[in-house]
Amino acid sequence: MSRHLLAIAVATAFAVTLAGCSSSGGSDDGDGGNAGGTDGASTGNGGGGGQGGGQDGGQGGDTGATPAPGGNTTAANPDGSPPTPSGGGAPSGDTKAGTYLGDFGFGTGVYVIDTEDRLAGLSLADNGEANALFGELGEGNTYSGTLRRQVLDPSNPPDAGGFGTGDPTLEAVGPYELSFTPGESITSTGGEQSASLSVAGEGALQPATVASVAGSWRGVNEYGDCSGTAGCRLVFEITFDGTSVSGSTSVETGAGESSFENPIAGSIAEYGDVLLLSFNWSSGERLAQYDGVAFFTTDGTGRLVFLGETLAGGDNPVIASLLARP
């Protein structure tokens, strides 16, 4: 995406997200909009930003890819109680469930298939750009169809954080023709999009467990010029306590003034060397349940990818961030 088109996309994210932020408070219009965009990915990139976590400022719910039955929960629990991950249990190697390292066509990344055949993962480039990928793969050892991708642009500047704002919508990518060898690999057998991945063996990933992630984490995604008074960064504050996860997203100015705070509350479950996530994010009419994964990056820096998707529709279908110990 050219810088000109990116600027238009970010401006659109600002406008759409702001319209849904009235219950969140805050005084900076720019902040609200970007938050929405970033949340999705990480944001929304969200990596990012949309009000606190999703880089999506647009109508990300309609992605062009049709989810299979039994996909992610589409709404937060009616009583507001924190959700619990499904698709748990340790991968046995007898099915395609497991954690994989490899490429779905967007660079090497970490991808998780849970025991309900749902895919969630992310590739992270050296320049800070990331691609989040989701899908329902169905039963059996083959899959034909599209997956859902969120493009997360580098922060501004790239060394100012993990993911920045990007395209505010999920896109259908593929079609893929995939073959799964249980406990071993994912390979392409045709289709327009290639894939080549191997099961993450012992020692391939720093284990993300209830014990290893316990405590506080922080993620900062800078999407604008922090020399002014407008919101320029999306901040994640996350705490893991036993099998619970809590925290919030907010938008900050260069001076550190915060607005558009939205809570995160949910649960985690160990799944080999990664964690399955299920959590509520945002509030009021924007409240939705997100399902995803958390895992350590493969670069040895000790950073933790926090990634979730909702199929409830709305401005922020994805929320993601690259977390570090404060």
Cα torsion for 214, 303, 204, 299, to the nearest 10°? -160
Q: How many C-beta atoms surround the C-beta of residue 197 within 10 A? A: 23
Residue 127 pLDDT grade (very low, low, confident, very high; cuts 50, 70, 90): confident
- The answer, yes or no, to whether residue 10 has pLDDT greater than 60, is no
What is residue 62's predicted lDDT score, i.e. its pLDDT? 31
pTM over 0.85: no
C-alpha dihedral sign at 59, 236, 293, 72: negative
pLDDT in tens, 263-315: 999 999 999 999 999 999 998 888 999 999 999 999 999 999 999 999 988 88
Mean of pLDDT over the chain:
80
Strands (E), 2-141: 49-50, 98-103, 108-113, 118-124, 130-136
The pLDDT value recorded for residue 313 is 83
Summarised one tens digit per residue, pLDDT across range 62-114 is 333 333 333 444 567 767 688 999 888 888 899 999 999 999 999 999 999 99
| Cα–Cα distance, 231 to 35 (Å, whole number) | 9
Which of the given ranges, 17-26, 28-37, 190-199, has the highest pLDDT on average?
190-199
What was the pLDDT predicted at 74? 54
Count other C-beta atoms under 10 Å from residue 25's C-beta.
10
pLDDT at 167: 67
pLDDT of 67 reads 35
Residue ranges per structural domain of the chain: 98-199
Residues 6 or more apart in contact with residue 141 via CB below 8 angstroms: 96, 179, 180, 181, 182
Which amino acid is present at 295?
A: F
In whole angstroms, what is the distance from residue 120 CA to residue 127 CA? 22
**279: enclosing H helix or E strand:** strand 274-281
Task: Specify which of 47-61, 81-95, 140-154 reaches the highest per-range mean pLDDT.
Answer: 140-154
Can you give the pLDDT at residue 153? Answer: 85
User: Which tokens hold the place of 192?
Assistant: 């327009």
pLDDT of residue 284: 85
* Amino acid 166: pLDDT: 66
DSSP 68: P
The three-state DSSP-derived secondary structure of 260-294 is EEEEEEEEEEEECCEEEEEEEECCHHHCEEEEEEE
Amino acid at 216: S
In the chain, the amino acid numbered 94 is D
